[in-house]
């Protein structure tokens, strides 16, 4: 493959719903560019993009795939992404490194819920976007309805570049508003014939052309003046204005096509080649301190946005060249892991196929193999200045399960496999929960979990099962009590003796600043504030006067209290927000030791805690559900059955958004329920909000369950 300079490189990513035809369009673009001799199909399982076995089994994309095509002296890197929202962790890195996004919409199903999620990330990354209405040859294709949904759903300046003359089963003509011609395709697709716009369409085409000219002129003062003077812009002037509008994200050009029949893809590629921004025209990457990394930086900088364990190649690191020029054999420092290595091979990538290259310019996308200690979000740099590119932020998981191997002794093998999978997919997170005594797997949804299970079993040889995760409850108290305990043990020789008297009461915010001198009954001498790693505080106060307990035994008392704090008496959950005042006790000159006072402190605190009206607190999450309006009633009913408190409802285009506070205990398998209620057309996200008191009846059930487990 020849070397391409930065000004001849364009990076695009294909995003959209699961059946929008992204993989088919990618195949079409490679065929049009002459990179492949014939188009494969998803149905025949022979596309360049979808090459993993799991993708062949499922019939859709699971991983992002890097491809390329060539067009009139330019290299167009293509990143094909999954359409299911469960695999958003594959989409976000692709958006991060792309210069332009192609947002595909199925003309038969229109704007779907997942499209809004993708659009949020497009806005976040400020990506120039081309909207593509695909499958115009489908029997239910409706361009006008889809266009109205786009304009209703998105507060964006969508400008029509083309519209279909006929759609549905007989689709074969596209009216182009930039060139003001009609493209008529042969029945098998391919190269079209340019014909005059039919008379009955001229008025509509002229009106839309003028709208396009005005939109192009608005993005450049010189063009605006020229338009006012002459009332028209030529094609080159329009291209200039459209490019500037795309860079400012003030203009989203809209195309239509039928990728499966290769009708319209060539014209789209021509637009990408002539108008879409090059790698050098978009905003540069920046480091963790917010400083720009210019493509002309003297140091070569690579940003690893994707990693994969390929069967025959091993660890593959996919990167974008953010500055400088990278050569095969170049020594580089991984500034994220502080490890050095040599780029022994450089590759241009087309799915599973790799082509060795000698060098890549700034803005290009490539890959290397077995560069040690290198994962997603790592920066490789020739300089030793420690510069790290600002990392990709992956979305919060929406589902979690307990995971365990079906075969005893495979725990370590499972853990190693999951850690390796996380390196390739940071949105899949394994947690070894000491508190819950479970291994948890956090993911984006049921499909994400199913694919993870498939990979574990097929690629790592570990069969696993999923189960219901426990809930991280917290225990605390309502009132102040006094408690004491005498630990006395005589075994024939030296015995054990320790007696502790304490006050236990609830912690309130800021109490540590006022507790000294706040009581009349006892004198608070010392206050140790413990910020608990599981949230909340413990105030341990030494109120001993007269030496009834020597100071050397206070840490032992504290240890005893912490043992109870880490395994509360109600449900074995962590205790939080408690104040303990040790105000009296007794010692023995011979038998008192640390073990005795640890036991006395532990038992006194446990007795006091149980007498102080203890109660459970549960984690509450803020949940947002995005749904078509026809499912609102059923979704609201379901949420109310999950003890949810609805905080708001609002419209987002033609969709409805519900915001609610929901206990984590009620969110188990919610993705499955939501998919059933809304026929897969609703999405939800969740984020931890707070801890709140568990209702009394629920607490009674939980305490009884804990008692049964203990028995």
Q: Last residue of some domain: 571, 586, 612? A: 612
Domain assignment present for 19? yes
Cβ pair 420, 309 in contact under 8 A: yes
What integer pLDDT is reported at residue 212 of this predicted model? 94
Same domain, 459 and 498: no
What integer pLDDT is reported at residue 120 of this predicted model? 84
Same domain, 218 and 327: no
Same domain, 569 and 699: no
CATH of the domain at 318: 2.40.30.10
Same domain, 39 and 175: yes
Same domain, 621 and 586: no
Same domain, 264 and 303: no
Q: What are phi and psi of 680, to 5 degrees?
A: 75, 10
Q: Last residue of some domain: 408, 438, 467? A: 467
Domain assignment present for 217? yes
Same domain, 677 and 556: no
What does each C-alpha distance from 319 to 305, 345, 600 come to in angstroms? 6, 13, 60
Domain assignment present for 508? yes
Whose CA is closest to 368, among 439, 313, 296? 313
Average pLDDT over residues 462-473: 96
Domain assignment present for 330? yes
Long-range contacts of 196-202 (CB under 8 A, 24+ apart): 198/165, 201/165, 201/175
Cβ pair 69, 56 in contact under 8 A: no
Domain assignment present for 94? yes
Distance from C-alpha of 379 to C-alpha of 375, rounded to nearest angstrom = 9
- Reported in sequence order, the residue ranges of 73-192 that DSSP labels E, i.e. its strands, are 74-80, 100-106, 129-134, 158-160, 162-164, 173-176, 181-184
What integer pLDDT is reported at residue 492 of this predicted model? 65
CATH of the domain at 693: 3.30.70.240
For residue 467, count CB atoms less than 10 angstroms from its CB and return exposed for 0-12, middle for 13-18, buried for 19 or more.
exposed
Q: Which domain holds residue 542?
A: 475-612
CATH of the domain at 57: 3.40.50.300
Distance from C-alpha of 138 to C-alpha of 115, rounded to nearest angstrom = 20
Average pLDDT over residues 291-315: 88
Same domain, 426 and 337: no
Which residues is 310 bridged to in the sheet? Answer: 314
Q: What angle do CA 255, 256, 257 make, to 5 degrees?
A: 130
- 243-272 pLDDT, tens digit each: 999 999 999 999 999 999 999 999 999 999
Q: Is the pLDDT of residue 534 over 80?
A: yes
CA–centroid distance for 422 within its chain: 13
What integer pLDDT is reported at residue 704 of this predicted model? 93
What does each C-alpha distance from 582 to 594, 595, 601 come to in angstroms? 16, 17, 9
CA atoms within 13 Å, Cβ hemisphere of 488: 7
Q: Is the pLDDT of residue 490 over 80?
A: no
For residue 456, count CB atoms less than 10 angstroms from its CB and return exposed for 0-12, middle for 13-18, buried for 19 or more.
buried
Q: How confident is the model at residue 231 (pLDDT cuts 50, 70, 90)?
A: confident
Q: Is the pLDDT of residue 494 over 80?
A: no
DSSP string, 239-274: HHHHHHHHHHTS-EEEEE-BGGGTBSHHHHHHHHHH
Domain assignment present for 388? no
Q: What is the chain's percent helix, strand, coil content, to nearest 5? A: 30, 30, 40
Q: Is the pLDDT of residue 711 over 80?
A: no
- For strands 252-256 and 158-160, give the pairing: parallel
- Sorted by sequence, the CB contacts under 8 Å of residue 641 that are 6+ apart come out as none
Q: Last residue of some domain: 589, 612, 635? A: 612
Whose CA is closest to 117, among 48, 41, 18, 188? 18
Same domain, 210 and 70: yes
Which residues is 368 bridged to in the sheet? Answer: 317
Q: What are phi and psi of 12, to 5 degrees?
A: -120, 150
- 45-91 pLDDT, tens digit each: 999 999 999 999 988 899 999 999 999 889 999 999 999 989 999 99
CATH of the domain at 459: 3.30.70.870
What does each C-alpha distance from 395 to 87, 204, 303, 507 come to in angstroms? 11, 43, 19, 34
Q: What are phi and psi of 129, to 5 degrees?
A: -135, 135
Number of domains in the chain: 5
Phi-psi region of 568 (alpha: psi -120 to 50; beta: other; left: phi over 0): beta
Of residues 655 and 274, which shows the higher confidence score?
Answer: 274
Average pLDDT over residues 674-687: 90
Of residues 13 and 383, which shows the higher confidence score?
Answer: 13
Average pLDDT, the chain: 93
CA atoms within 13 Å, Cβ hemisphere of 371: 37
Domain assignment present for 290? no
Whose CA is closest to 405, among 451, 471, 460, 466? 466
Q: How confident is the model at residue 225 (pLDDT cuts 50, 70, 90)?
A: confident
Same domain, 269 and 243: yes
Cβ pair 258, 141 in contact under 8 A: no
Q: Which of 280-289, 299-308, 372-381, 567-576 has the lowest mean pLDDT?
A: 280-289
- 151-200 pLDDT, tens digit each: 988 877 899 999 999 989 899 999 999 999 999 999 989 999 999 999 99
Q: How confident is the model at residue 222 (pLDDT cuts 50, 70, 90)?
A: confident
Domain assignment present for 288? no
- 687-705 pLDDT, tens digit each: 999 999 999 999 999 999 8
Cβ pair 524, 518 in contact under 8 A: yes
Same domain, 497 and 633: no
For residue 628, count CB atoms less than 10 angstroms from its CB and return exposed for 0-12, middle for 13-18, buried for 19 or more.
middle
pLDDT above 90 coverage of the chain, percent: 81
Q: Is the pLDDT of residue 436 over 90?
A: yes
Same domain, 553 and 431: no
């Amino acid at each position: 493959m020849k070397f391409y300079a930065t000004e001849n490189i364009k990076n695009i990513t294909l995003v959209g719903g699961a059946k929008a035809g992204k993989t088919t369009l990618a195949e079409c673009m490679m065929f049009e560019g002459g990179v492949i001799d014939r188009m494969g199909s998803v149905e025949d399982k022979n596309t360049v993009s979808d090459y993993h076995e799991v993708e062949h089994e499922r019939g859709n994309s699971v991983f992002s795939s890097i491809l390329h095509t060539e067009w009139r002296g330019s290299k167009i890197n293509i990143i094909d992404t999954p359409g299911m929202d469960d695999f958003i962790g594959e989409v976000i890195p692709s958006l991060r490194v792309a210069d332009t996004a192609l947002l595909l919409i199925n003309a038969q199903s229109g704007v779907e819920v997942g499209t809004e999620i993708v659009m949020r990330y497009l806005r976040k990354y400020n990506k120039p976007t081309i909207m593509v209405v695909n499958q115009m040859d489908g029997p239910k294709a409706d361009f006008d309805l889809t266009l109205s949904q786009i304009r209703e759903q998105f507060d964006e300046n969508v400008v029509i570049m083309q519209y279909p003359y006929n759609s549905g089963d007989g689709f074969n003509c596209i009216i182009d508003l930039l060139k003001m011609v009609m493209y008529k395709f042969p029945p098998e697709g391919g190269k079209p014939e340019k014909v005059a716009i039919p008379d009955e369409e001229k008025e509509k085409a002229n009106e839309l052309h003028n709208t396009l000219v005005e939109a192009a002129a608005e993005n450049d003062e010189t063009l605006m003046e020229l338009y006012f003077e002459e009332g028209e812009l030529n094609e080159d002037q329009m291209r200039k204005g459209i490019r500037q509008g795309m860079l400012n994200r003030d203009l989203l050009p809209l195309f239509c096509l039928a990728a499966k029949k290769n009708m319209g893809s060539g014209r789209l590629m021509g637009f990408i080649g002539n108008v879409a921004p090059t790698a050098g025209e978009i905003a540069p990457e920046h480091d963790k301190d917010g400083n720009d990394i210019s493509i002309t930086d003297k140091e070569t900088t690579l940003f690893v946005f994707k990693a994969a364990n390929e069967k025959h190649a091993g660890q593959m690191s996919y990167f974008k060249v953010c500055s400088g020029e990278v050569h095969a054999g170049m020594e580089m420092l991984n500034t994220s892991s502080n490890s050095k290595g040599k780029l022994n091979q450089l590759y241009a990538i087309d799915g599973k196929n790799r082509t060795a290259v000698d060098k890549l310019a700034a803005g290009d996308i490539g890959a290397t193999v077995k560069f040690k200690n290198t994962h997603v979000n790592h920066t490789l740099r020739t300089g030793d200045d420690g510069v790290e590119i600002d990392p990709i932020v992956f979305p919060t998981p929406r589902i979690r399960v307990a995971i365990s191997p079906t075969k005893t002794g495979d725990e370590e093998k499972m853990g190693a496999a999951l850690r390796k999978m996380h390196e390739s997919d940071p949105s899949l997170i394994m947690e070894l929960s000491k508190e819950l005594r479970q291994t948890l797997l956090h993911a984006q949804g049921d499909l994400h979990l199913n694919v993870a299970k498939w990979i574990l079993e097929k690629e790592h040889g570990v069969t696993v099962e999923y189960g219901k995760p426990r809930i991280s409850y917290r225990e605390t108290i309502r009132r102040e009590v006094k408690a004491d305990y005498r630990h006395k043990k005589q075994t024939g020789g030296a015995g054990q003796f320790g007696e502790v008297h304490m006050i236990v009461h609830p912690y309130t915010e800021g109490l540590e600043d006022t507790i000294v001198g706040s009581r009349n009954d006892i004198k608070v001498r010392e206050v140790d504030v413990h910020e608990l790693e599981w949230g909340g505080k413990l105030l341990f106060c030494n109120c001993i006067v007269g030496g009834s307990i020597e100071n050397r035994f206070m840490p032992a008392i504290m240890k005893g209290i912490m043992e109870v704090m880490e395994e509360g008496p109600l449900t074995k959950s962590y205790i939080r927000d408690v104040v303990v005042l040790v105000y009296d006790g007794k010692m023995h000159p011979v038998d008192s030791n640390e073990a005795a006072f640890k036991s006395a402190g532990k038992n006194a605190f446990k007795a006091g805690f149980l007498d102080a009206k203890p109660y459970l607190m549960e984690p509450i999450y803020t949940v947002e559900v995005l749904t078509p309006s026809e499912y609102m009633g059923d979704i609201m009913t379901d949420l109310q059955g999950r003890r949810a408190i609805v905080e708001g409802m609002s419209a987002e285009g033609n969709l409805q958004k519900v915001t609610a506070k929901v206990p984590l205990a009620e969110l188990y398998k919610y993705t499955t329920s939501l998919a059933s209620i809304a026929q897969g057309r609703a999405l939800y996200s969740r984020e931890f909000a707070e801890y709140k008191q568990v209702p009394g009846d629920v607490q009674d059930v939980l305490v009884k369950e804990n008692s049964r487990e203990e028995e």
